[in-house]
Structure 1
Amino acid sequence: MAERDKPVAVVTGGRRGLGRGCAMALAARGFDLVLIDLHDDEVAHETVAALEAEGARVRFLQGNIADLDGHAALAQAAWDAFGGIDCLVNNAGVAPLALSDVLTLTREAYEHTMNINLRGNLFLAQAIARLMVAAEPLGFARSMIFITSIAANHVSVAIPDYCISKSGLSMVAGLFALTLAGHGIQVQEVRPGFIRTDMTTAGEGSPTEAIEAHIAAGHVPMNRWGEEEDVGRTVAMLAAGDLPFSVAHPIYVDGGYGIRTA
């Protein structure tokens, strides 16, 4: 493999929301970026332009991580973009199709969420991990970061499929962590709390009012929404190797929401 003077990060779901926040923070830390997203549109072009303005080289790949048959080609295209991958940010995810409880959850809604949030992330991570393991390290920190959620261990009865998908993805992070640690690849899990993104503030059925009421009631000690850059800066710190002797333990970006109190 040819020598590179900058590390390369791949961010799934990278065109907006948490993915964009992660990509921007990684660019600020000196990474070149490969963005994978379902939509190649004006939003994607604006994100690419913003990253390039930060000095990053950027390659955008349109792809659906729910399409397992396309993973091998997608992973290879991401690898070939800049001659290797040093960090994979498994960020792509969707909100539930509809609010329900376990008595009304439909098979279609469950499969839609799981195919992207869990199944897609698992097997794309597998495809890229195999490439990383087979390659000679170039001296950059190597990592794989899974974006889960406080829903991984907080039961929210109105979004059972989402909770199950994020709980499962947390276990996936642990499995990859133990498998890859001996190869010099750190695997981390980041658990965001209430983050202001399109998923939480836009469209019919968005939980904006409920979250704002939750914050106002004092359940978030820092008394504010989280922002995309809060998650992004955490991911960039991990990708840069700033926690060199930590693996797999969930890192909460939740303003203190998850602190146990008496």
Structure 2
Amino acid sequence: MRQVALVTGSSRGIGLAAAEALAREGFAIAINGPVADGELSRAVDRIAALGAPVVAAAFDVSDLTRHEAELARIEAALGPLTTLVNNAGVGVLKRGDLLDVSEESWDRCLTVNTKAMFFLSQAFARRLLARDRPAALFHAIVNVTSSNAVAVAVQRAEYCASKAAAAMVSKALAVRLGGENIAVYDVQPGLIATDMTAPVIEMYAKRAAEGLTLFPRVGQPEDMGAIIAALASGKLPYTTGQAISADAGMLVPRF
């Protein structure tokens, strides 16, 4: 018996780091990106090089009509899914005054960061509940939201709103699925060096060194990957519904 994980948005960044960490834990991995391109292919090759069974899952998570078919295809290739890592997400179309936020940017953030995560989790959970699940395998949903689920970044209010909603979805899923022995976690990354944060990461690295974070550095995707893999592997037994502030203590209240 083997753990099988779908990691959305895993062709790069936090998602790829999570997929690599899970592969090292013995998981079979479905690597997801919106299209079948070179980036997705290279990510698949990186997981295969670790010796893990792997399949490419090229679909846009915001296309809800694809969810059932893609989950079925992954299971046909790798075996029954045990784990869903909802990592796929988007940022704002333009940072700036929230009074200037466009409906397009609002809808984009809520559609990908919240709606897609909710309905993919729903489809995943339904599949798990429809079959017998070996007690020896740990079953979990790990959602990657953001420290902006808690802390306001006024220049990207629509992103904050989408992540706050996603954090509440995580809690709701934990309550619904706890009785079914399916754990749900919410990982809330802080200042992480990714493509999304590339335009501002140097500024935040300086602020981290000056005390914005308790550890004086920005985080790396590999930091998040290790956290996600630990949660998905059941290494925090007797826990569910937890929000993990993966932010080097940035949001710890202090004088």
- TM-score normalised to structure 1 length: 0.94
Distance in 2 between residues matched to 1:98 and 1:76, nearest whole Å: 37
* Gaps in structure 1 of 5+ consecutive residues: none
Distance in 1 between residues matched to 2:202 and 2:224, nearest whole Å: 22
Between the aligned residues of both structures, percent identity stands at 34
Secondary structure of 1:174 counterpart: helix
- 1:210 matched to 2:203? The reply is yes
Alignment of 1:242-257 (within 5 A): 242-257=235-250
User: How far has the Cα of 1:44 moved from its partner?
Assistant: 1.5
CA RMSD of aligned residues (A): 1.2
Distance in 1 between residues matched to 2:40 and 2:19, nearest whole Å: 12
Equivalent position of 2:251 in the other structure: 258
Equivalent position of 1:46 in the other structure: 42
Equivalent position of 1:79 in the other structure: 75
- 1:171 matched to 2:163? The reply is no
* Gaps in structure 2 of 5+ consecutive residues: none
Q: Which amino acid aligns with 2:171?
A: G
- 1:100 matched to 2:96? The reply is yes
Task: Say which of 151, 154, 158 aligns to 1:154.
Answer: 151
Distance in 2 between residues matched to 1:131 and 1:195, nearest whole Å: 33
- 1:222 matched to 2:215? The reply is yes
Secondary structure of 1:234 counterpart: helix
Distance in 2 between residues matched to 1:115 and 1:187, nearest whole Å: 21
Alignment of 1:9-158 (within 5 A): 9-138=5-134, 139-158=136-155
Secondary structure of 1:199 counterpart: coil
Measured against aligned partners, the alpha-carbon deviations of 1:28-64 in whole angstroms (never above 9, x if no partner) come to: 1110001221032222222111111111000111101
Q: Which amino acid aligns with 2:67?
A: H
- 1:194 matched to 2:212? The reply is no
User: How far has the Cα of 1:66 moved from its partner?
Assistant: 0.9
Secondary structure of 2:129 counterpart: helix
Aligned residues: 254
Q: Which amino acid aligns with 1:107?
A: E
Maintained 8 Å contact 2:184/2:242: no
Maintained 8 Å contact 1:8/1:86: yes
Measured against aligned partners, the alpha-carbon deviations of 1:179-211 in whole angstroms (never above 9, x if no partner) come to: 11111100011111111111111xxxx222331
Q: Which amino acid aligns with 1:94?
A: V
Maintained 8 Å contact 2:10/2:16: yes
Maintained 8 Å contact 2:44/2:56: yes
Distance in 2 between residues matched to 1:219 and 1:162, nearest whole Å: 21
- TM-score normalised to structure 2 length: 0.96
Measured against aligned partners, the alpha-carbon deviations of 1:196-233 in whole angstroms (never above 9, x if no partner) come to: 111111xxxx2223312321321111111101111001
User: How far has the Cα of 1:100 moved from its partner?
Assistant: 2.6
Distance in 2 between residues matched to 1:154 and 1:116, nearest whole Å: 20
